[in-house]
């Protein structure tokens, strides 16, 4: 018995990276999944690999009609909707404030925030008919701490975190839980900075970035997929309105050995001892 046996899910941005890992994990755990993505080649290939329990639908998450169609496909194909992962994203506008155009601003927020709103809006009714459901929004540690990513990406992910909370308060009355995942550095094409990284490029990325993580490695898409599985499954039935940080400890601070290296040569730290002891 899988943790999602009998469930129907939609994963936006499900053709690659964290989204593809979510899709594969959900299918493995017994769900049937709509892969909603712009990348027709990767999305179709993934759905084909997973067989009858997956369907690909070309989806532009900045268009409300496309998001509504992805959710309707789940209902039409398999009779309902139990899980939605609002996962689609990209790096957005970069550079200093004065260099960002209005068009760059708009597309960044359309992809990263408006798409999440569309998902929440159109998932409500089919989930309400099922007596409840789970919505998982992909946010970021950049939405919790400034300086982790470009201006607009950081602000957009902060908006997703807050929208997660406000939606949870409304939809909880219908048995619908809403939570966010805040990944840290994950080995994805977005993090590597290339649309189709080679195995060698992924390996170099892991080697370069891994030592800076308190847990000693970079995150993998499956790390996020497992967090999404928990939030999608009945195991998290009393969890809503939260932002789950999945970052190998990076948000907590620097690893102990790195802290000690920065203090090398400094005067020794003496513990305070009360008089007479």
Number of neighbours of residue 167 by Cβ within 10 angstroms = 25
- Which token pair is 58? 């070309």
Half-sphere exposure of 149 (CA within 13 A, CB side): 24
**DSSP letters of 134-176?**
EEEEE--GGGTSTTSS-HHHHHHHHHHHHHHHHHHHHHGGGTE
Number of neighbours of residue 79 by Cβ within 10 angstroms = 12
The CA distance from 139 to 245, in Å, is 9
User: 39: which DSSP letter?
Assistant: -
The CA distance from 107 to 61, in Å, is 11
Catalytic residue among 153, 212, 230, 272: 153
Number of neighbours of residue 210 by Cβ within 10 angstroms = 16
212 in active site: no
How many residues make up the chain in this entry?
277
Q: Which residues are catalytic?
A: 153
């Amino acid at each position: 018995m899988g943790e999602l046996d009998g469930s129907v899910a939609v994963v936006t941005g499900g053709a690659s990276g964290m989204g593809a890992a979510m899709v594969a994990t959900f299918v493995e755990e017994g769900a049937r999944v709509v892969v909603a993505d712009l990348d027709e080649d990767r999305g179709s290939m993934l759905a084909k690999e997973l067989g009858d329990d997956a369907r690909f639908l070309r989806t532009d998450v900045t268009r409300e009609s496309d998001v509504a169609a992805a959710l309707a496909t789940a209902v039409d194909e398999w009779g309902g909707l139990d899980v939605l992962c609002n996962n689609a994203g990209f790096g957005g506008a970069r550079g200093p404030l004065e260099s960002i155009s209005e068009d760059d601003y708009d597309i960044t927020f359309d992809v990263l925030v408006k798409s999440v709103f569309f998902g929440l809006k159109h998932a409500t009714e089919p989930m309400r008919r099922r007596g409840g459901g789970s919505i998982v929004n992909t946010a970021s540690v950049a939405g919790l701490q400034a300086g982790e990513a470009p201006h607009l990406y950081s602000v957009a992910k902060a908006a997703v975190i807050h929208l997660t909370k406000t939606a949870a308060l409304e939809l909880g009355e219908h048995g619908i839980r809403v939570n966010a995942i805040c990944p840290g550095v994950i080995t994805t094409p977005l993090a590597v900075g290339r649309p189709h990284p080679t195995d060698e490029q992924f390996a170099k990325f892991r080697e370069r970035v891994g030592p800076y993580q308190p847990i000693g490695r970079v995150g993998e898409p499956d790390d996020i997929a497992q967090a999404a599985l928990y939030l999608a499954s009945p195991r998290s039935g009393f969890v809503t309105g939260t932002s789950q940080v999945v970052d190998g400890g990076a948000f907590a601070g620097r690893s102990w050995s790195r802290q000690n290296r920065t203090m090398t040569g400094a005067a020794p730290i003496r513990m305070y001892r009360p008089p007479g002891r």
